[in-house]
Structure formats: C-alpha cells, structure tokens
Amino acid sequence: MDASQLREAAVNDYVSRIYRAQNGPPISLYIGYYRSQRTGESIHSPQNCLPGSGWQPLSIRRFVVNVANRPPAVLNHYVVQKGLEQQIVIYWYQSHCHAEASELQAKFDLVFDAIHLQRTDSALVRINTPLDFRGEADQRAERFAAAILSTLDAFLP
C-alpha cells in the first residue's frame, strides 16, 4: 500500500476528548470521521480493535436511546477488561443523521448511500468510562451518549 492509499484508509478527521463531572469518573469521547470508504478501507468495529489492544470482552448488548426530534437510536454497550480495569464502551456508526449499532447494517447503508447519494462518508462514535461498583457507570455512559446524539448532526455532514 503506498502513502496515498494509506491516507485514504485512515480516519480523515477526529475528536478525542475526556470529560469529567466534578469529582466524577472520566468519560472519554472519540469520533472518527471517514470522508470516503472503499473495500478494505473502512471503519472497523471496536469489537475487533479493543481485543487486539489487550482488552478482553466481558459482555455486549444493545440499548435504545430516545432523543427529542429524532428516531430512537439503538447503540452498542460493550464491557471490556484489561488487567483489573473494566470499562464500559458505547459505540455506534453515524451517517447522515442516522445512528446504527450493527456493523453489517452500517455496511448496507454505506452501499445504499454510495448508489443513491454518491457518498460513502461515515463516522464511528465511541464513548468509554470506567466501570464502577456503584452501578452508576451505565447511567453515566448512556446519558452522555444521548447528549452526544442530540448534538452530533450539527457537526457531521
């Protein structure tokens, strides 16, 4: 793969931030935007890259987020562990004002958009926070996901 192909396969723009409420645990936000995707050059699932970096999956489920002025969104809720540290990872694929949990459905949407809209841009949105034993991590992460969903459309094409 030459340098121009490498640039095309990589994320074109991203946001990586850490948020923290007063005296609260951190919430990490990553949004990777891909201007164009092709075969072999597309967003890959955190279910693939997190185990590759040493995080072991403990559980995965989907949940629904209701946000005003948009259809309900189904998102992924993934619990991972590395050593003694456990994290909740919430992620989804975002394209054209649509959030999608399923990697397969996101690929179908990409093909549809390529044919009908002549565009293959999309983003991966990932939120993670430490899993605490008070049971607040789920609520914290899911509330944050709802807040991100309510503002994301203004920032992505």
Taking alpha carbons only, the member of 144, 156, 13, 153 closest to residue 90 is: 144
Tell whether 133 is covered by a domain. Answer: yes
* pLDDT at 150 (0 to 100): 83
Tell whether 44 is covered by a domain. Answer: yes
* pLDDT at 39 (0 to 100): 55
Give the CATH number, domain containing residue 132.
3.40.1000
Q: What is the mean pLDDT of residues 73-85?
A: 94
Tell whether 87 is covered by a domain. Answer: yes
Q: Tell me if 75 sits within 8 A of 92, measured CB to CB.
A: yes
Query: What's the pLDDT tens digit per position in 50-63?
Result: 888 899 999 999 99
* pLDDT at 60 (0 to 100): 93
pLDDT at 7 over 80: no
Number of domains in the chain: 1
26 or 1, which is more confident: 26
Beta bridge partners of 38: 41
Tell whether 75 is covered by a domain. Answer: yes
Q: What is the mean pLDDT of residues 124-134?
A: 87
| pLDDT band of 132, cuts 50, 70, 90 | confident
CA distance 43 to 122: 8
133 or 25, which is more confident: 25
Q: Which residue range is the domain that position 41 belongs to?
A: 3-152
Tell whether 138 is covered by a domain. Answer: yes
pLDDT at 4 over 60: no
Q: What is the mean pLDDT of residues 125-131?
A: 94
Tell whether 132 is covered by a domain. Answer: yes
The first and second tokens of residue 99, run together, are 């959030």
* pLDDT at 3 (0 to 100): 36
CA distance 140 to 34: 27
Tell whether 35 is covered by a domain. Answer: yes
CA distance 32 to 15: 7
Site of tokens 């397969």: 104
Q: What is the mean pLDDT of residues 78-99?
A: 89
Tell whether 157 is covered by a domain. Answer: no
pLDDT at 44 over 70: no
